[in-house]
Amino acid sequence: MKQRLGPAVTIGHTRPDPPFWGQRYLTFNAIIRVNSVEASRTRWFGSNEESRNTPANMQRMRRAITREFPQGRITWAISWLALHEQSRNYRAVRKQALEYHHRYGDEITFTVGGFFPNVYNYRKQVSRDLHAGLAAVSRLVGGGYRPKSVVAGYLAAENHRFLAEEQDIHVCQGNIWSQYGIDALDDDGSICYPYYPSREHTLKPAQGPADFIDCVSLDGWTCDFVAARQPGFKDGFNSRLGLGPIETLFQHNFSRKVGLRQLLATTGIHFDRGFALNRFGWATTIWELCLMDNEGADQSLAAWLHAVRRRWPNTRMITQGEFGMAWRKEFPNNAQLNYRFAHKGTGIFGSDASVEVRWYMNRKFRLALLRDWRHQSPWKVIDLTRYDLPAHEPPGLARNWSLINLRNQKQTRPQDLPVRLEHLPAAQQTLIANYYPTLISESGL
Amino acid sequence: MSTPGGSPPRKFLQAAGASVARLLRAGAAKKIAPGKFHFTLWTSYGYLQYADRHSWCGFDVAAMEDVWGASVWFNSFTPWSGN
């Protein structure tokens, strides 16, 4: 069959893109680095992970993925040091990534600044690093290769603009939804699904052509909405519970089996109810390759993917670059954004079983409601972040890049105390009613 | 690792997160007492991944933050005690 098509045509290229809508997307990024926090090209912190970032661990990771998603494609994001380290191990790691690129269609790209480039570097330096890192990736792969996306953790608006306008990269894992008081970076305030950032602030969706950046910003790790409403480690619970492997599988506060249940429940937020509400579902995660050194890590990864495939057999596992570009075709700007989510806590760790959270996210604002569903308590607003107000990022180096205005889910200020919808000021009620006309009148929802 | 002509450097760990201000202060301490200590940072996820007894033994001092309701300092040696 392939011969009849002639040598210049491959089966893969003749397939039309499947429709964007009605799909469940799973994106998986793997980080290859040398040190746990590579703050800049020459400065790093934490543990040296050289012995854990090995071809053998890559093979363990890829085997687990291939077994459950034979057609699946993932993204290998390589740090500056891992791109340039000349030891035999890292040369073999890069060769292995190349092999997976050719064999499976995996994307190879650059990860900049240890997830928090703008915490440690000024914007100009981050752009320089992006330019040089992407060039190194192109040299590694050869043939004029350019990745479709970048992995950055949090990336400032100016650096998103640089990617779009000067690097022709239009997808970036550029925000870590709901992160606050944890992991050395605060960036709560955004939408957890794809959006185009504003030139004013990465976490603000662009309001129109004047502040539009043509680079789709993606969340890094899908979170449990109930746990995520807390700051940091409040009450001893990690607010990053969700699809993050370290927080959900390897933090040793609960068994691996319970962690797997949480992984599946978090995926279900988007593949069950979220899918019905939004007409597509998206779950995403980043695994540091070094995690594969943990005993049974490959089995845990395979068990989660197996459960996903069994429960949602049509799940499409594609690279985040492909996902972002497919989204971009359907959404030329933010005007049509209208994401909705509903989630009852899992009862695991900080995901209180009695709490139900609903989210509404659009270009103008994000709104979260919470209630105790067991006692049928009234819905209360725990977050109302307006995006139609001016926003400013920190001018220089800073830890806190959050976008917090009217009311924030983390409840770190007196004004964040939950309030019933009908008790909001009239202007805020009008803003909400413009998007969701029946929400306030049906306050019982 | 040894320091030529001096005592071995102190090892300092800031675990579970760090503010930029603290990082800068650590940098200042390095300038004031070059080679006297090594500084490193574990983010919260790094702490979750690596903080076992063996790892702790590698440090003379550890400071923790980002743990809501608790701010724990280990040992009495603080390289930026003058700040």
Residues A352 and A323 in one domain: no
What domain range includes position A377? 338-435
Cβ contact A439:A421 at 8 Å: yes
pTM of the model: 0.89
Q: Between A and B, how many CB-CB pairs are < 8 A?
A: 76
**A78-87, A404-413, A431-440 — which is least confidently predicted?**
A431-440
Instruction: Write down the residue that tokens 């695991």 correspond to.
Output: A348
Residue B18 has pLDDT above 90, yes or no: no
Residue at A369 is within a domain:
yes
Residues A219 and A137 in one domain: yes
For chain A positions 33-52, those within 8 Å of chain B (CB to CB) are 36-37, 45-47
pLDDT at A379: 95
CATH classification of the domain holding A88? 3.20.20.510
Residues A382 and A321 in one domain: no
Instruction: Write down the residue that tokens 């107000």 correspond to.
Output: A389
Residues A145 and A163 in one domain: yes
Residue A371 forms beta bridges with which residues?
A: A356
Q: Which chain A positions have a beta carbon within 8 Å of B40's beta carbon?
A: 45-46
A232: nearest CB among B18, B23, B66: B66
Residue at A445 is within a domain:
no
Q: How many independent structural domains does chain A possess?
A: 2
Residues A430 and A294 in one domain: no
Please tell me the distance from the alpha carbon of residue A88 to that of residue A421, in angstroms, as a whole number.
60
Cβ contact A367:A383 at 8 Å: yes
Which tokens go with B83? 């700040």
pLDDT at B49: 79
A206-245 confidence digits (pLDDT tens):
999 999 999 999 999 999 999 999 998 888 788 999 999 9
Indicate yes or no: CB of B66 within 8 angstroms of CB of A235: no
Residue at A9 is within a domain:
no
Nearest CA of chain B to the CA of A244: how many Å? Answer: 10
For chain B, the farthest-separated pair of C-alpha atoms sits apart, in whole angstroms, at 43
The average pLDDT across A270-286 equals: 98
Residue A38 forms beta bridges with which residues?
A: A44
- Residue A63, classed as helix, strand or coil, is helix
**A122-126, A223-227, A356-360, B2-6 — which is least confidently predicted?**
B2-6
Please tell me the distance from the alpha carbon of residue A70 to that of residue A87, in angstroms, as a whole number.
31
Q: Looking at the complex, does the CB of residue A148 fall below 8 Å from at least one CB of chain B?
A: no
A11-27 confidence digits (pLDDT tens):
444 466 789 999 999 99
Q: How is A404-424 classified by DSSP, letter by letter?
A: --SB-TT--SGGGS-EEGGGS
Residues A344 and A320 in one domain: no
Query: Residue B43: which pLDDT band, with cuts at 50, 70 and 90?
Result: confident
Residue at A442 is within a domain:
no
Last residue of a domain, one of A280, A310, A330: A330
Q: What phi, psi does A386 have (nearest 5°)?
A: -85, 135
Residue at A14 is within a domain:
no
Q: Which of A149, A160, A274, A145 is nearest to A222 (CA)?
A: A274
Residues A168 and A316 in one domain: yes
For chain B positions 2-41, those within 8 Å of chain A (CB to CB) are 17-20, 23, 39-41
Q: How is chain B classified by DSSP, letter by letter?
A: ---TTSPPPEEEEEES---HHHHHHHHHHHHHSTTSEEEEE--HHHHHHH-SHHHHTT-SEEEE-S-TT---B-SS--TTTT-
Q: What phi, psi does A327 have (nearest 5°)?
A: -65, -40
Indicate yes or no: CB of A251 within 8 angstroms of CB of B44: no
Per the document, the length of chain A is 445
Which tokens go with A246? 């370290």
Best of A187, A399, A410 to substitute, by most chain B Cβ atoms within 10 angstroms, is A399
Nearest CA in chain B to A245: B45
Query: Residue A114: which pLDDT band, with cuts at 50, 70 and 90?
Result: confident
